[in-house]
Amino acid sequence: MTIKEIQDEIVEEFSLFENWMERYEYMIELGKSIELISPSNKTDSNLIKGCQSKLWLHAEILEGKILYTTDSEAIITKGIAAILLRAFSNQTPLDIINSDVKYIDEIGLKEHLSPTRANGLVSMIRQVKYYALAFSKQE
């Protein structure tokens, strides 16, 4: 699936919910079920800056596609990270560079992606793109 298709799928899933509480419960579920970063990659250099809770991001390239893994101490942060990586992980560097995160607004979680919110998610998106840029130069 393309990034856009996955994003549309997520938007559709979230459209079933009637209120914020259901959306949050689903997001928390996604956070719990995400494939976590391996403990050996939970290093300081993989730590995203500017968070109240620790957030890690690791990236590696496999057959031309970037695989991202993440973890966070806060489950809400982890849930949103899961929603982001579901779209961006296992995609080509170029597709990642050319994509956006507007779907986060559409599923009603926009407030968590404010640059002034100290959860590190905005920095994480930037880091996802930097990795894509770096890997695209390697090819």
Partner 1 sequence: MGFDINKIREDFPILSRKVNGYPFVYLDNAATSQKPKIVIDSIVDYYSNYNSNIHRGVHSVSQEATDGYESARQTIQTHFNAKYSHEIIFTSGTTHSINLVANGFESLLNSGDEIIISGLEHHSNIVPWQMMCEKNGAIIKVIPMKENGELNLPVFEELLCEKTKLVFVNHISNALGIINPIKKIIKKAHEFGAVVLIDGAQASSHFKTDLQDLDADFYTTSAHKLCGPTGVGMLYGKEKWLKKMPPYQGGGEMISTVTFKKTTYADLPHKFEAGTPNIAGVIGFGEAVNYLNKIGFDNIKNHESSLLDYATKKLKTIPNIKIYGDSLNKTSVISFNVGEIHAYDIGSILDKFGIAVRTGQHCAQPIMDYYNISGTVRVSFSFYNTIEEIDHLYKSLLQAISMLS
Rg of the Cα atoms in the chain = 14
CA distances from 106 to 110, 125, 135 (A): 8, 17, 29
Q: Judged by CB, which is closer to partner 1: 94, or 113?
A: 113
How near is the Cβ of 76 to partner 1 at its closest, in Å? 5
Q: How far is the CB of 136 from partner 1 (least distance, A)?
A: 33
Q: Does 62 bind partner 1 (CB under 8 A)?
A: no
Using CB under 8 A, which residues numbered 100 to 119 contact partner 1?
112, 118-119
Cα separation, 18 vs 20, whole angstroms: 7
Q: Does 28 bind partner 1 (CB under 8 A)?
A: yes
| Measured CA distances, 48 to 19, 58, 67, 104, 107 (Å) | 30, 10, 17, 20, 24
Annotated active-site residue 63? The verdict is no
Amino acid at 33: S
Catalytic residue among 6, 48, 51, 132: 51
Say how far apart CA 17 and CA 25 lie, in whole Å.
Answer: 10
Q: Does 73 bind partner 1 (CB under 8 A)?
A: yes
Among 15, 38, 43, 52, binds partner 1 (CB under 8 A): 52
Task: Catalog residues that contact partner 1 under the rule CB under 8 A.
Answer: 20-21, 24-25, 28, 52-54, 73-77, 112, 118-119
- Catalytic annotation, residues: 51
